[in-house]
Amino acid sequence: MDYKVPNFGPDPDMVGTMENEKIASAMLNHGWEFNTKKSFEKWRNRALDVQSYNFDPELSHDVRETEKHYKAAESNLGAWDVEKTTANMGYDYYEYQADRNKQAALDARARQEAAAAQSAAAEEDAADAKAKGTAAPEVAPAAAAPEGAPAAAAEVAPAAAAKKAE
């Protein structure tokens, strides 16, 4: 196809940029050189001058130590998985399965301790009431242990009920 393309002249932004470059070159007493032998020698890639390059260099001591620590961290914390990256903690915080397991164990222990404290308080109340000769206060049975909690937490409620019956 042969069709006429309108020419509106140079872009005013480009004209301004060229004028600014001339002013800056004059102020710094420095001119750009492109596609000259002098500029080629100054800016050429000297790495290409090397004929034999070792593509398998020995890693430095720091790199080897970092790699060792990385492997140790993965063996302790589990392999990093992008899908498990916690979105609300920022880019560089990762949630590991070991962390979740540790937190679950702490939560289960806290539930056990709370149930044991509740049972001990109920026993003390019953003993106080027996010593005073009054009726023991009604104690609500402990709730069933949440799903995934150790069996010991679920057994606290029946043990408290059995002691109450005595």
Is 3 or 158 the better-scoring residue by pLDDT?
3
- Looking at the chain, list the stretches that DSSP marks H as alpha helix, in order from N- to C-terminal side: 12-28, 37-43, 61-77, 97-132, 151-165
Q: How confident is the model at residue 154 (pLDDT cuts 50, 70, 90)?
A: very low
Tens digits of residue pLDDT in 24-42: 999 999 888 888 998 899 8
Read off the pTM.
0.28
Distances (CA, A) of 129 to 12, 121, 126, 143, 161: 96, 12, 5, 24, 16
- 70-121 pLDDT tens trace: 999 989 888 877 666 655 555 455 566 777 788 899 999 999 999 999 999 9
* pLDDT for 18: 93
pLDDT of residue 122: 92
